[in-house]
Amino acid sequence: MTLPVRKETLTLHNLRAMGADGPAFFLDTAQRLGPDFRVGLGPITLTVLSSPATLQQVLQKQAKVWGRGSAIDGVRPLLGNGLPMSDPPLWLTQRRTMQPAFHRSHAPVWADVVREATTPTLEALTPGERVETKRLMMRITRDVIVRAMFSQSLGADPRPIDEAFEVVEDFIATIAVNPLSLPLWVPTPLHRRFQAASAFLHARMQALIDERRAQAAPPMDLLTMLLKATDPDTGTGMTDAQLRDELMNIFFAGHETTANLLTWTVALLPRHPAVLARLRAEVDAAVGVRAITADDVPKLSYAAATLREVLRLAPPAWMFVRQALEDTELAGQPAPKGTTVTISPYATHHLASNWAEPDAFRPERFLDETSIDAAAWKYRYLPFGAGPHVCIGNHFALLEATVVLALLLQRFEWTLLDEGPLEPKIGATLSVKGGVPVTFTRRR
């Protein structure tokens, strides 16, 4: 068996179509040719995988062969050798060292962090004022991750940090949609800005590490846990450079993804009033007007199902890549060392061969099966990836999204200012095309 091929001529139009409409392009091709295929665009060939069996092969059974390699070197100046960027042996040491800091037993602390970081932003919303949901959710998830990592807010003047993040996010969004990106050493204005922003953020992370090392009674947050963390086999901790890379990666992996999950949720709920009503009733019964804590989260099973369904319809990590670290084979064909494959959870989640009525929004699908592990779903569902590289922050992300959603439902009703069709927009992660403008009004 060989992989079917879709051939396209290399034109600006096709390049844009593949870039700007990547998820739809992959899904459409998967529907026409089968879930695993090659697409040739002039000199570029992409191998796209979305069948559960191939995903299991690449992500789990042959995880040692299919790694990161040089496939994501474009962002290495920013993200260095952090967990999402590395292969064994470094990856294995780091994963073992860091895993305990992300264990779900930290849920009580995480829930308090999320509530405390989110409440002031929600309290500051002016009823009736137009709000762009993605901007609001980015503010909230950024505050949450900064507080979870460093026990502090972005500081008195967060603007330089905000600006650096915006440059970096722009750069990642640009290279994510352009298969023909120039190498970073080409001194384009965007590249120069990206390098300056990366250097600024590295220096800021290092300063936070230095301050923390000097503290006599450090707070018990992610930074302290990672500073103290050691490889269970060797007892060795991380160097400052490695720690800085990990902090950068946790920051970037851990806030825009969750912001998009929440933005899609805000956009979908008013379009599905029965789901919204059931959610509100659940939050009112379980939490009422009290401050939500981790003890409430298990009672919010419909909220959990809703968030899982949003992650199915609009997986923030709509694609990610693997590279063959040695000569191997794929779908019966040789795959020489260096072969890069694109994994498309978006296509996997939308194929009728995997899900009945795949485009329908039905949280009930997830009421009985609450696992988020791709293995339990036989590789039909992988918003957090699968196999050994599965998202280390998945429990944190789901708890965070549940608490933010509950806080919103407790306090507000919202009205969509644009009720047109919801379409995905790609960048570093999957957001909503045209944004989600809303107005909020207070419930109580």
Interface residues with ligand HEM (CB under 6 A)?
A: 83-84, 95, 249-250, 253-254, 257-258, 261, 316-317, 320, 383-385, 389, 391-393, 396-397
**Whose Cβ is closer to ligand HEM: residue 150's or residue 384's?**
384
Closest approach of ligand HEM to the CB of residue 316, in Å: 4
**Whose Cβ is closer to ligand HEM: residue 15's or residue 382's?**
382
Closest approach of ligand HEM to the CB of residue 93, in Å: 11
Closest approach of ligand HEM to the CB of residue 433, in Å: 19
Of 311, 320, 319, the C-alpha closest to 260 is: 311
Closest approach of ligand HEM to the CB of residue 127, in Å: 28
**Whose Cβ is closer to ligand HEM: residue 202's or residue 312's?**
312
Kindly provide the b/e burial profile for residues 13-32, where b requires at least 16 CB atoms within 10 angstroms of the residue's own CB. eebeebbebbbbbbbebbee
**Whose Cβ is closer to ligand HEM: residue 52's or residue 316's?**
316
CA–CA separation, 307 and 323 (whole Å): 31
Instruction: Please calculate the CA angle 426-372-273 and round it to the nearest 5 degrees.
Output: 70
CA–CA separation, 382 and 391 (whole Å): 10
Neighbours of 423 (CB within 10 A): 11
3-state secondary structure of 328: strand
Whether 407 contacts 119, CB under 8 Å: yes
**Whose Cβ is closer to ligand HEM: residue 79's or residue 331's?**
79
CA–CA separation, 361 and 355 (whole Å): 12
Of 62, 55, 114, the C-alpha closest to 259 is: 114
List the beta bridge partners of residue 131. Answer: 438
How many secondary structure helices (H) and strands (E) does the chain include?
16, 13
Closest approach of ligand HEM to the CB of residue 397, in Å: 4
**Whose Cβ is closer to ligand HEM: residue 212's or residue 255's?**
255
Residue nearest to ligand HEM (CB): 393
**Whose Cβ is closer to ligand HEM: residue 143's or residue 191's?**
143
Closest approach of ligand HEM to the CB of residue 185, in Å: 25
Closest approach of ligand HEM to the CB of residue 39, in Å: 20
